[in-house]
Chain A
Amino acid sequence: MSSWPNKWEELPIGGVVDKPGNSLEVKTGSWRALKPVIDLDKCIKCLLCWVYCPDNAIIRRDDDYVEVDYEYCKGCGICAHECPTKAIDMVEEGGE
Chain B
Amino acid sequence: MSRIRRLNEIPRKELFTSGHSLCAGCGIPPMVKMALKAIEGDKVVVNATCCLEVATTLYPHTSWLVPWVHNAFENAAATASGIESAMKVLLRKRDGKKYKIIVFGGDGGTFDIGLQSLSGALERGHNFLYVCYDNEAYMNTGIQRSGGTPLGAATTTSPAGRVIPGKPENKKNLMDIVIAHRVSYAATINPAYPTDMWNKFAKASDLLDKNEGPIFFHYYSPCPVGWRMDTALSIEAARLAVQTRLWPVYEVDHGKIIINIKVNKPKPIEEYLKIQGRFRHLLKPENRGVVERLKKYIDNNWNRLLKLAELDSIY
A23 contact from B56, B194, B232, B233, Cβ within 8 A:
B56
Determine whether A1 belongs to the interface, using a CB cutoff of 8 Å to chain B.
Answer: yes
Question: B231 near A77 (CB under 8 angstroms)?
Answer: yes
Determine whether A45 belongs to the interface, using a CB cutoff of 8 Å to chain B.
Answer: yes
Determine whether B270 belongs to the interface, using a CB cutoff of 8 Å to chain A.
Answer: no
CB proximity of A58 to chain B, nearest CB, Å: 10
Q: How many A-B residue pairs have CB under 8 A?
A: 122
Question: A60 near B12 (CB under 8 angstroms)?
Answer: yes
Determine whether B191 belongs to the interface, using a CB cutoff of 8 Å to chain A.
Answer: yes
B21 contact from A24, A28, A56, Cβ within 8 A:
A28
Alpha-carbon gap, A54 to B16, bound state (A): 10
**Apart from A15-B59, A25-B61, what are 12 other A-B pairs with CB-CB below 8 Å?**
A22-B60, A23-B63, A26-B58, A51-B34, A51-B194, A55-B18, A56-B18, A64-B8, A72-B18, A74-B23, A74-B25, A78-B235
A76 contact from B18, B24, B63, Cβ within 8 A:
B24
Determine whether B236 belongs to the interface, using a CB cutoff of 8 Å to chain A.
Answer: yes
0/1 interface trace, chain B 8-45, chain A, CB 8 Å (1 if under): 10101010111111111111111001100000000000
Chain A residues closer than 8 Å to B119, beta-carbon distance: none
Question: A46 near B7 (CB under 8 angstroms)?
Answer: yes
* Interface residues of B, Cβ cutoff 8 Å to A: 7-8, 10, 12, 14, 16-30, 33-34, 56-66, 191, 194, 224, 230-236
Determine whether A92 belongs to the interface, using a CB cutoff of 8 Å to chain B.
Answer: no
A81 contact from B57, B59, B233, Cβ within 8 A:
B233
- Jot down 30 A-B pairs with beta carbons below 8 A, ordered by A: A1-B60, A4-B60, A20-B62, A20-B64, A20-B66, A21-B64, A21-B65, A22-B61, A23-B19, A23-B58, A24-B19, A26-B20, A28-B20, A32-B24, A46-B7, A52-B30, A53-B30, A54-B26, A54-B28, A55-B18, A55-B19, A64-B8, A69-B18, A72-B18, A74-B25, A75-B24, A76-B234, A77-B25, A78-B232, A78-B234
CB proximity of A47 to chain B, nearest CB, Å: 4
Number of chain A residues close to chain B: CB under 8 A: 44
Nearest A residue (CB) for B12: A60
Q: Which of A24, A56, A64, A75 has the most CB of B within 10 A?
A: A56
Question: A76 near B19 (CB under 8 angstroms)?
Answer: no
Alpha-carbon gap, A57 to B8, bound state (A): 17
Chain B residues closer than 8 Å to A86, beta-carbon distance: none
A28 contact from B18, B25, B34, B62, Cβ within 8 A:
B18
Question: B58 near A54 (CB under 8 angstroms)?
Answer: no
Question: A21 near B28 (CB under 8 angstroms)?
Answer: no
A56 contact from B17, B56, B57, Cβ within 8 A:
B17
Chain A residues closer than 8 Å to B58, beta-carbon distance: 23, 26
Question: B234 near A23 (CB under 8 angstroms)?
Answer: no
CB proximity of A59 to chain B, nearest CB, Å: 10
Alpha-carbon gap, A65 to B56, bound state (A): 28
Chain A residues closer than 8 Å to B19, beta-carbon distance: 23-28, 55, 72
Chain A residues closer than 8 Å to B63, beta-carbon distance: 21, 23
CB proximity of A37 to chain B, nearest CB, Å: 15
Alpha-carbon gap, A21 to B28, bound state (A): 17
Determine whether A40 belongs to the interface, using a CB cutoff of 8 Å to chain B.
Answer: no
Alpha-carbon gap, A69 to B19, bound state (A): 12
Question: A23 near B18 (CB under 8 angstroms)?
Answer: yes
Chain A residues closer than 8 Å to B57, beta-carbon distance: 17
Indicate whether A22 sits within 8 Å of B24 (C-beta atoms), given known contacts A47-B8, A76-B234, A77-B232: no
Nearest B residue (CB) for A62: B12
Question: A52 near B235 (CB under 8 angstroms)?
Answer: yes
Question: A24 near B30 (CB under 8 angstroms)?
Answer: no
Q: Which of A24, A54, A75 has the most CB of B within 10 A?
A: A54
Determine whether A82 belongs to the interface, using a CB cutoff of 8 Å to chain B.
Answer: yes
CB proximity of A40 to chain B, nearest CB, Å: 16
